[in-house]
Amino acid sequence: MTQSPSAPRSSLFAKYFIALFAAVVVPLLVAGGSEAWFGHHDQRARLNDLLEAEARSAAAKIQDFLDGIRDQLAWTVQLPWSDGADERRRLDATRLLRQVPAVVSLTLIDASGRERLFVSRIGLNKIEGGTDHSASPAFKGVRPGAAWYGPVTFHAGSEPFLTIAVAGTRTAVGVAVAEVNLKLIWDVISAIRVGRTGEAFVLDQPGRLVAHPDISLVLRADQTAIRPLQALRARITTRNGQATEGRDIGGHMVLAAMAPIPSVDWSVVVKQPVTEALEPIYTALWRTGALLIGGAGFAAALAYWLTQRMIEPIRLLEDGVARIGAGQFDHRIDIATGDEFERLATRFNEMAGDLAVSQERSERIGRLKRFLAPQVAELVDRSGDDSVLDGRRIEVVVVFGDLRGFTAFSARAEPEIVMSFLSEYYDALDRVVIDHGATLTHFSGDGMMVLINAPVSRPDPALCAINLARDMQKTVQFLLRDRQALDHRLGFGVGLAMGPATVGRIGSEGRLEYTAIGTVVNLASRLCASAGNAEVLVDMVAAEAVDGRAPLVELDAHVLKGFDQPVRVFAVGEAAAG
């Protein structure tokens, strides 16, 4: 029990910590992860919707720009032509030029395709010019009451222009054809903002840049430079018009959506840098991530705390058990958790208390065995109760035995011989005492004191004592007979007396003895002292108690030291006879 058990292969702390941590973190991760995943998807879909709405709104603005011009042109084709010059129409036309800055020139053509009026910002105005426009695509293409849009042309290879023709509801009112400088869409396109830095641009059907916030890109009319923009449109087209990711001219990743302008077959594309468009998503992801990390940290702290709380009493128990096991029975395990651990600790404490009591008792009994006959000791041991050893007054028989001539022998003989003789002497007497169930209370040199009827009561103690004394004499005489040859003048005398005495344990905790105190002890001692070799002297009380069941011979009354009156003394018959 002194050796502490080897360290466990896996600690309970780690197990509980992992279990508790996982119990909190796994659901957190699952919830956070799925939230982030689905949130990302929803946001992404919403972003696409938003961008597509932006594209439609941008397309509507460009459409408004064109519709505004068309509506203005419609005013000029309401009345049928007369033969002569029409001053009112000229005023209308000049007013239109002032009203619509994008219109560079306006041609009014009558039903037969003849040019009746031409007004321009740059060139000379012409009244009744008469040029035949009947074969021009604008005149041929336009339907009554509708508008016709020509292809985008780049003047001097730079500025984008568009021809718009509007026919009146009746053929007689003719057709108005306007040259529109598309550079002026810039005001519209540059005002479109998608998010913070996103922007819109317009491509015509063949993929030429019609409008872009950077006007110089339009004016460059460079097909290679705008290839990324065309690619962007192509990507959206392949995805059936859904918003998609791609690269813009600067090579930056952008999110783009498209809306068509059917009347001119243009595409309005809005784009927003991916980093900006996805910023809210990333912000949300970062937030979720931070929350997860924070949650995991909290879970770890919580798990650590809980585990610590759980493991602490176990450690205390382990430590306590180790101490108690090491014999420290006064150790108490102090746990006040109010749960099973506290109950367990209480059990351990009780156990330690019981162990302490039992050890103390076994120690005491061990000590008692020294002076109790083994049967007595066994009795005390079995009953677990040493109250028989408690002090009391009782009728006992005290037997004293003593060697004669031992002092001279011990002075003469070698110490080894003395000690070996004493050892044999005591061994023999001890056996006799044990055989008779008596209690050997005292050794002293060559003498000994034996108690009968205490601490274990015996029936007929006097007879038992006389038998014991006779056996003691017999044993010692047998022992001495062997020594006679060695010329050892040794003898053995025994005295016994019966009477009340105070019996019990006396002495300190370390040197405890069971003994008897009283006149009877003195009397027995004196009788022993006055007994000759091979003689057993018995006092009157014991003799009367035997009442003839043992051969006793009354001797002359002895005058004994410490006794005022002469004492009646009996000798055991055999001895007397011998």
Partner 1 sequence: MPCFLRQAARLTRREIIALGAIVTVPHSVHAQQKATPVIGYLGSESPEPYGSRLAAFAEGLAEAGYVDGRNVAIDFRWAEGQYSRLPALAMDLADRQVTVMVAPGGAEVALAARSATKTIPIVFELGGDPVALGLVASLSRPGGNLTGVTSLSVEVSLKRLEFMSDLFPAARTFAVAVNPTSPTSGSQSRNLLATASSLGLELRVFNASSEPELDAMFAAVSQTQLAGLVFTSDPYFAYRSRRLAELAIRYNVPAITQARDFPNAGGLMSYGGDFRQSHRHTGIYAGRIIKGEKPSDLPVQRVTKVELFINLKAAGQLGLTMPPSLLSSADVVIE
For 159, 440, 523, the CA distances from 227, given in Å and listed in that order, are 19, 124, 139
What's the min distance (Å) between Cβ of 129 and partner 1?
11
For partner 1, give the closer residue by CB, 3 or 224. 224
For 77, 105, 121, 168, 184, the CA distances from 90, given in Å and listed in that order, are 12, 12, 13, 17, 24
Q: Is 557 an interacting residue with respect to partner 1 (CB under 8 A)?
A: no
What's the min distance (Å) between Cβ of 66 and partner 1?
18
What's the min distance (Å) between Cβ of 125 and partner 1?
7
Q: Is 57 an interacting residue with respect to partner 1 (CB under 8 A)?
A: no
What's the min distance (Å) between Cβ of 119 and partner 1?
9
Give the residues across from 181 on adjacent strands. 161
The C-alpha angle 54, 59, 65, rounded to 5 degrees, equals 130
Q: Which segment (116-124, 387-395, 493-501, 538-546) binds partner 1 by CB under 8 A?
A: 116-124
Using the rule CB under 8 A, which residue among 48, 181, 197, 375 binds partner 1? 181
Asked whether the CA dihedral 140, 141, 145, 151 is positive or negative, the reply is negative
What's the min distance (Å) between Cβ of 102 and partner 1?
9
For partner 1, give the closer residue by CB, 203 or 256. 203
Q: Is 156 an interacting residue with respect to partner 1 (CB under 8 A)?
A: yes
Q: Is 296 an interacting residue with respect to partner 1 (CB under 8 A)?
A: no
Cβ atoms 525, 548 nearer than 8 A: no
Residue 245, number of CB atoms within 10 A of its CB: 14
- Interface with partner 1: number of residues (CB under 8 A): 28
Q: Which segment (119-127, 396-404, 427-435, 486-494) binds partner 1 by CB under 8 A?
A: 119-127
Cβ atoms 100, 72 nearer than 8 A: yes
Q: Is 282 an interacting residue with respect to partner 1 (CB under 8 A)?
A: no
DSSP state of 173: G
Of residues 489, 551, 498, the one with CA closest to residue 527: 498
Residues 65-104: x where in contact with partner 1 by CB under 8 A, - otherwise, as a string: ----------------------x--xx--xx-xx--x--x
For partner 1, give the closer residue by CB, 215 or 284. 215
For partner 1, give the closer residue by CB, 92 or 381. 92
Q: Is 125 an interacting residue with respect to partner 1 (CB under 8 A)?
A: yes
Cβ atoms 495, 404 nearer than 8 A: no
Residue 510, number of CB atoms within 10 A of its CB: 6
Of residues 132, 130, 124, 118, the one with CA closest to residue 90: 118
Which is it for strands 552-554 and 491-507: parallel, antiparallel or unpaired? unpaired
Cβ atoms 110, 88 nearer than 8 A: no
Which is it for strands 447-452 and 439-444: parallel, antiparallel or unpaired? antiparallel
Question: Residue by residue, what is the 3-state secondary structure of 474-486?
Answer: HHHHHHHHHHHCC
CA dihedral 499→502→504→510, nearest 10 degrees, is -120
d(CA 519, CA 525): 10
Q: Is 193 an interacting residue with respect to partner 1 (CB under 8 A)?
A: no
The string of DSSP letters for 46-64 reads HHHHHHHHHHHHHHHHHHH
Using the rule CB under 8 A, which residue among 42, 222, 354, 378 binds partner 1? 222
d(CA 416, CA 413): 8
What's the min distance (Å) between Cβ of 77 and partner 1?
19
Q: Which segment (74-82, 176-184, 508-516, 561-569) binds partner 1 by CB under 8 A?
A: 176-184
What's the min distance (Å) between Cβ of 258 and partner 1?
26
Q: Is 124 an interacting residue with respect to partner 1 (CB under 8 A)?
A: yes
What's the min distance (Å) between Cβ of 65 and partner 1?
16
For partner 1, give the closer residue by CB, 155 or 431. 155
d(CA 321, CA 315): 10
Burial class of residue 203, CB neighbours in 10 A (0-12, 13-18, 19+): buried
Using the rule CB under 8 A, which residue among 23, 29, 221, 434 binds partner 1? 221
What's the min distance (Å) between Cβ of 104 and partner 1?
7
Burial class of residue 74, CB neighbours in 10 A (0-12, 13-18, 19+): middle
Cβ atoms 458, 388 nearer than 8 A: no
Q: Is 153 an interacting residue with respect to partner 1 (CB under 8 A)?
A: no
For partner 1, give the closer residue by CB, 91 or 557. 91
d(CA 445, CA 392): 28
What's the min distance (Å) between Cβ of 228 and partner 1?
15
Q: Is 485 an interacting residue with respect to partner 1 (CB under 8 A)?
A: no
Using the rule CB under 8 A, which residue among 70, 183, 367, 488 binds partner 1? 183
d(CA 472, CA 494): 8
Residues 200-219: x where in contact with partner 1 by CB under 8 A, - otherwise, as a string: ---------------xx--x
Cβ atoms 530, 558 nearer than 8 A: yes
Q: Which segment (150-158, 340-348, 352-360, 428-436) binds partner 1 by CB under 8 A?
A: 150-158
Using the rule CB under 8 A, which residue among 121, 323, 489, 568 binds partner 1? 121
What's the min distance (Å) between Cβ of 71 and partner 1?
19
Q: Is 157 an interacting residue with respect to partner 1 (CB under 8 A)?
A: yes
For partner 1, give the closer residue by CB, 40 or 95. 95
What's the min distance (Å) between Cβ of 197 and partner 1?
15
What's the min distance (Å) between Cβ of 300 and partner 1?
50
Cβ atoms 539, 433 nearer than 8 A: no
Asked whether the CA dihedral 391, 393, 397, 398 is positive or negative, the reply is positive
Q: Is 223 an interacting residue with respect to partner 1 (CB under 8 A)?
A: no
What's the min distance (Å) between Cβ of 257 and partner 1?
28
Q: What's the token pair of residue 142?
A: 């336009």
Residues 379-398 touching partner 1, rule: CB under 8 A, are: none
What's the min distance (Å) between Cβ of 13 and partner 1?
59
Residues that bind partner 1 (CB under 8 A): 87, 90-91, 94-95, 97-98, 101, 104, 121-125, 154, 156-159, 181, 183-184, 215-216, 219-222
